[in-house]
């Protein structure tokens, strides 16, 4: 399974999972079976709030799942419509969250869990 983890820094598996999908600078795309990964720049990070194009953000790279701290309702619906499952990240690194998803302990996002907007510094309002 290929999993996309939004991050602010390009530190590979040691990158901290970011709190908002659409505003992330990078995505660490990890193959869950062997932990191989690639880094992709977010091609949609400068979108207007509420107009996230998550498939464009991944720059044409296919993912089976996304693990993120926060996500807007529109982005969640678009990812789900493309067959991509979105999970709520725990605070920590990509590798720590990869371990949790492999163990089946991360919660799948629902529309009730999505961000309601942005607060100071772009932080999600959950």
pLDDT of residue 55: 73
**Percent of the chain residues past pLDDT 70, beyond the cut:** 83
Containing structural domain, residue 53: 2-112
Q: Which residues contact 98 (CB under 8 A, 6 or more apart)?
A: 3, 5, 13, 30, 32, 35, 67
Cβ partners under 8 Å of residue 18, min gap 6: 6, 7, 8, 24, 25, 68, 69
Q: Is 122 part of any domain?
A: no
Does residue 90 register a pLDDT over 80? yes
Rounded to two decimals, what is the model's pTM?
Answer: 0.86
**What is the pLDDT, as a whole number, of residue 29?**
97
In a domain, 126, yes or no: no
Residue 41 falls inside a structural domain: yes
Residue 8 sits in a domain of what CATH number? Answer: 3.30.420.130
Assigned domain for 125 exists: no
Q: What per-residue confidence (pLDDT) applies to 111?
A: 82
In the predicted model, what is the mean pLDDT of the chain? Answer: 86
Q: Give pLDDT, residue 47.
A: 47
Q: Which 8-state DSSP code applies to residue 46?
A: T
- Determine, yes or no, domain membership for 15: yes
- 118 located within any domain: no
| Domain annotation covers residue 86 | yes
Give pLDDT, residue 3.
Answer: 98
- Write out pLDDT tens, residues 29-84: 999 999 999 999 998 765 455 546 667 788 889 999 999 998 888 889 999 999 99
Per DSSP, 44 falls in state T
Number of domains in the chain: 1
């Amino acid at each position: 399974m290929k999993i996309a983890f939004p991050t602010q820094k390009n530190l590979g598996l040691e990158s901290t999972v970011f709190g908002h999908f659409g505003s992330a600078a990078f995505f660490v795309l990890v193959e869950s079976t062997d932990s191989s990964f690639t880094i992709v720049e977010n091609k949609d990070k400068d979108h207007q709030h509420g107009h996230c194009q998550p498939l464009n953000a991944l720059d044409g790279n296919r993912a089976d799942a996304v693990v993120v701290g926060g996500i807007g309702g529109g982005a969640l619906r678009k990812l789900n419509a493309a067959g991509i499952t979105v999970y709520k990240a725990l605070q920590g690194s990509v590798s720590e969250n990869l371990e949790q998803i492999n163990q089946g302990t991360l919660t799948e996002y629902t529309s009730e869990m999505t961000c309601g907007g942005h607060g100071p510094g772009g932080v999600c309002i959950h």
